[in-house]
Structure 1
Amino acid sequence: MSDELVTYEVSDGIATISLDRPEVANAQNFELLDRLDALWTAAADDPDVRVIVLRANGKHFSSGHEMKSAEGRSAKWTVATLYEREARAFVGYSLKWRNIPKPSIAAVQGVCIAGGLLLAWPCDLIVAADNAKFSDPVATLGIGGVEYHGHTWELGARLAKEILFTGRAITAAEALHVGMVNRVVPLADLDSATRELASQIADKHPFALRMAKRAVNQTLDVQGFTTAVQSVFDIHSLGHGNALTECGYPVVVDLEAMKKSIAAQR
């Protein structure tokens, strides 16, 4: 297992943050998310950084939150405990990264599953490799959607319902068609194409970029984006509450079923 979890470098005004757990398809644990947040903060605070790129080492961008079928079975779970943990590290971090006043680009290859969407969607732009697949199959666990509900905004209501109801993945081409990603490029060109786009943006005046980002994000907020995300997080937490009453665990079915669903999409 990688000791780094996430790596970081800055050059030519571009901060590159790389998920570095390729051996587990960049699955996320709380340590990784805390490290990732620290690096987002470092990039935000560095006056030499004009653009932030989030990418991943290995075949896949992220298979979502790390799941271990035995881990935590004996823990004393409460809705309050889950709510506090997820409000900080899931929806809290994602909203924070979305609002960092510097342009950001996600470079996505392979699978981007459930919790992976919490990393990609907060970025301002998404460049997808032609093999990228995006999905949120957590209805398998008796939960209605990931904690950061960008689904309706990113996909439109009909497609958002379809992928939540069925758990199916959408391809990079379909994501481009509905406007969820900005560009689709061959896998071999993903890093270079993302870097080229970041360089084009980094040439612009940083205050102009900040105000352009604020204009778009604030327009979405006037339409109710942040309020909706926060409200749906409460709905998500209700799903955990239901699971706890049914089986004493945050999800309803055995985690092995979810692992099989994820494996089928790789």
Structure 2
Amino acid sequence: MKFETIQVASNARIGTITFNRPDKLNAINRTLMAEVTQALSAFNDDSEILAIVVNGNGRAFSAGFDMKESSERGTPDLAQWGNILKADFDFIMQFWDSPKPTIAAVHGYCLAGAFELALACDVTIAAQGTRFGEPEVRFGSGIIAMLLPWVAGPKAAKELLLTGTDDVDAERALALGIVNNVVESGKQLEEAYRIAGAMAAAAPLSVQMTKRAINRSYDVMGLRSALFEGLNTDILIEATGGPERAEFNHIRKEQGLKAALKWRDERFA
């Protein structure tokens, strides 16, 4: 398989998906979504692959969904937002739903949709210096996959999501249970492979059935229903907009994305 926005490799029963838009901080666009889905599906179907690692080239794991691409959509209506965000939701949750263990090796920035993707993976390894967060509420947007309350608890989720902070460091992420291990910068992929190798060396059926049982326990507690409720809320937020969104979009259209992000961040300086 040849791809435009990702690199794919397999070795020692481990499949690797690498985001490869380093000049865009690996922002997640529709092409990357389609290519990741194709690669992950192939790994899921390959009996020789027993664990899957996802990481990013360049300065960041990923800064989240591509805001430039989003701005080119115009003004979607409620039904169109539903289709867009359901596709985003499915993209994130395929890592949770993969029958095989998924491990995220993150560095640099791990923000917004990419943060949710890392939460959806079974294990997350962070390099020192990684910054986490979801700034959506700062410019009138919402959360696609509301996984954070299930991973870090409601207190932490409310603090992080209601302030829209995007500068949670790796050490605090570790304390909150958002990541499993923090390692020296540049060592995150090595650590991810170490854990993936241990999982791949175990009995495949036992590993996959145990992952399924853990996920099923969360479904019994209502995770899937809660996530769908969160998604429906996000659809309403995106379709309704608001003065902050209108101003953000106006600045983005007239002066560019960097100016819009500067306006967003200066309001919270």
Q: TM-score, normalised by structure 2?
A: 0.88
Contact 1:140 1:258 in 2 (8 A): no
**Worse-superposed segment, 115-124 or 11-20:** 115-124
Asked if 1 retains the 8 angstrom alpha-carbon contact of 2:22 and 2:60, the reply is yes
For residue 239 of structure 2, what is the aligned residue in structure 1?
A: 241
AA matched with 1:98: W
1:199 corresponds to: 197
Quick check: 1:114–1:138 contact (8 Å CA) kept in 2?
yes
Q: Shift in Å at residue 227 of structure 1?
A: 0.9
- Report the residue type matching 1:146 in the other structure: I
Distance between the aligned counterparts of 1:93 and 1:134, measured in 2? 19
1:190 is displaced (CA, Å) by: 1.3
Paired with 1:210 and 1:142, the residues of 2 have a C-alpha distance of 39
Conserved 8 A contact 2:140-2:245: no
Percentage of pairs with the same residue: 30
Contact 1:141 1:253 in 2 (8 A): yes
**Match for 2:68: what amino acid?**
K
Instruction: Tell me by how many angstroms 1:18 deviates.
Output: 0.2
Contact 1:141 1:258 in 2 (8 A): no
Matched letter for residue 225 of structure 2: T
Among candidates 148, 158, 162, match of residue 159 of structure 2: 162
> Cα 1:258–1:146, aligned 2, differ >3 Å: closer, same or farther?
farther
Identify the residue that residue 43 of structure 1 maps to in structure 2.
Answer: 43
Contact 1:25 1:62 in 2 (8 A): yes
Paired residue secondary structure (1:27) = coil
Question: Post-superposition shift, 1:251?
Answer: 6.1
Conserved? CA contact 1:50–1:206, under 8 Å: yes
Q: CA deviation at 1:131?
A: 1.1
CA 1:195 to 1:84, structure 2 compared with 1: closer, same or farther past 3 Å? Answer: same
Distance 1:205 1:262 in 2: 48
Q: What is the count of residue pairs matched by the alignment?
A: 255
Question: What is the correspondence of 1:112-261 to structure 2 with a 5 Å cutoff?
Answer: 112-143=110-141, 145-168=142-165, 169-243=167-241, 246=242, 253-254=248-249, 255=252, 256=257, 259-260=261-262
The answer as to whether partners of 1:10 and 1:16 remain within 8 angstroms in 2 is yes
How far residue 118 of structure 1 moved from its aligned partner, in angstroms, is: 3.0
Contact map agreement 1:14 1:51 (CA 8 A) in 2: yes
Deviation of residue 69 (structure 1)? 8.6
Match in the other structure for 2:28? 28
Q: 1:218 to 1:110 in 2, by over 3 A?
A: same
In the TM superposition, residue 33 of structure 1 has moved relative to its aligned partner by: 0.7
Shift of 1:250: 7.4
Contact 1:138 1:258 in 2 (8 A): no
Equivalent AA in structure 2 for residue 87 of structure 1? K
Three-state SS of the structure 2 residue aligned to 1:159 is helix
